[in-house]
Amino acid sequence: MSAKKIPLYDLKLSRKALDEAEKTLKSGWLTTGSKVEAFEKAVARYTGVRHAAAVNSGTSGLVITLKLLGISSRKEVITTPFSFVATTEVILQCGARPVFADINPQTFNIDPDEVLRKVSPRTACILPVDIAGYPADYKSLSEISKRYKIPLVADACHSFGARYHKKSIPQVADAAVFSFHATKNLTCGEGGMVVSRHADFIRAVKVMSRHGMSAGAYQRQKANRWEYDVVNLGWKGNLSDVHASIGLGELESFDRNQTARKKIAHRYLKNLTSLADYLELPPVDEKIESAWHLFIIRLNLARLKCDRNRFINLMAQNGVACGVHYKPIYEFSFYKKMGLTSQSFPNTAFAGRRVVTLPLYPGLSLKDVDYVCEAVASIINKNAR
Ligand SMILES: Cc1ncc(COP(=O)(O)O)c(C=O)c1O
């Protein structure tokens, strides 16, 4: 066992975030209020899109977005089976049918040709995911969305700060949903944001996130009026001012953190290219700026004597925690009920057995990145075929 301990994630909140949270805790107003409003404005400004609604998680943001788009029984949503379970769960929570399209083997993102094959008269939404922070193929996806008049919603829970041909994700989709969960590259602890060019849509997200009430506690206090109406079937999805304060504080150091993430990712890429026969590295394209939420490698098992679990165990023995993003959704016990098999999704199945996520967070030193790479190289050298 190694004396070295490198976790998969390590969150160090900025001084500013801690101070902002403390101020809010002492302010006498903890629920949705001025801090949420300020956070919404700051995120909208950062993404270059006018309208944003804060929510208590990416999952809530996705449920509310889909429900507002009328996703319900007898409707279909085309998405990827290679994602966190929330992406599919929210479709089922709306009573609709998830229709999976296989992924591109290089980017791990949904393959637009497969999306095209799955479009039906019941398709009511296309829901790509920007895996690891690398944007999906929005050019092809928007062409399909426009041709068939199907809304394009980005599950952008990995990709705050990513750029696709210089544009932010909400600029290339009808709506984008971010997650600010504790493991994400921008965090409030738990939280999320729906961002869109469409003002009416974001207004509706805000109403729905407060149980369909025309005015929440903050608006009522400001207007000095107790009265409110309930205008539709709502959801409990509002973000608290405490969480928004953390997000606001963290946003100030976001660019610096992203620069650190990019440096770490490029160090991994440089150190690991010599192992190209044994593992594949994440894609790099000058027109795409990844948010580098995760660094996912794919083992070439045909050239190794160990399997993926053995590789991860050996990394752990070297003090390096690794993860798996993702096991295909249809392989989980509950989702086996969908009756889907690997044969229908060869690229997802192939990636699902081989991917390994290496540690990536702004506080990870380049010396530690080199250490991780040496551990990878030594395991590969001992297990090469
Ligand atoms: C791809 C993806 N979609 C949705 C979510 C849900 O976000 P949250 O945890 O904020 O609900 C996550 C969270 O990890 C995710 O990775």
Instruction: Collapse the DSSP code of 36 into the 3-class scheme (helix H, G, I; strand E, B; otherwise coil) and give the result.
Output: helix
Position in ligand 1 atom list of the atom nearest CA 90: 4
Q: What is the pLDDT of residue 87?
A: 98
The rounded Å distance from CA 361 to ligand 1 centre is 18
The rounded Å distance from CA 136 to ligand 1 centre is 16
pTM of the complete model beyond 0.95: yes
β-strands 163-164, 288-289 pairing: antiparallel
The rounded Å distance from CA 98 to ligand 1 centre is 17
Q: How far apart are the first and last CA of the chain?
A: 25
β-strands 76-79, 123-127 pairing: parallel
Going 307 to 80 to 161 to 287, the CA torsion angle's sign is positive
> Which residue of 63, 130, 179 sits with most ligand 1 atoms within 8 Å of its CB, as the best mutation to test the pocket?
179
Nearest residue to 193 (alpha-carbon basis) of 288, 65, 80, 289: 65
The rounded Å distance from CA 318 to ligand 1 centre is 29
The rounded Å distance from CA 84 to ligand 1 centre is 6
What residues in the chain have per-residue pLDDT under 70? none
Cis peptide before 326 (omega within 30 of 0): yes
**DSSP code at position 331:** G
Position in ligand 1 atom list of the atom nearest CA 183: 14
Domains delineated in the chain: 15-252 (3.40.640.10), 254-322+359-383 (3.90.1150.10)
Q: What is the pLDDT of residue 213?
A: 97
CA–CA separation, 63 vs 72, rounded Å?
A: 11
CA–CA separation, 219 vs 241, rounded Å?
A: 14
Residue nearest ligand 1's atom 7 by CA: 58
The letter for the amino acid at 117 is: R
CA–CA separation, 332 vs 327, rounded Å?
A: 8
The rounded Å distance from CA 346 to ligand 1 centre is 24
> Which residue of 56, 59, 77, 91 sits with most ligand 1 atoms within 8 Å of its CB, as the best mutation to test the pocket?
59
Position in ligand 1 atom list of the atom nearest CA 86: 4
Q: What is the pLDDT of residue 2?
A: 81
CA–CA separation, 180 vs 246, rounded Å?
A: 10
Instruction: Collapse the DSSP code of 55 into the 3-class scheme (helix H, G, I; strand E, B; otherwise coil) and give the result.
Output: strand
Residue nearest ligand 1's atom 14 by CA: 84
CA–CA separation, 90 vs 173, rounded Å?
A: 18
CA–CA separation, 325 vs 80, rounded Å?
A: 13
CA–CA separation, 285 vs 11, rounded Å?
A: 28
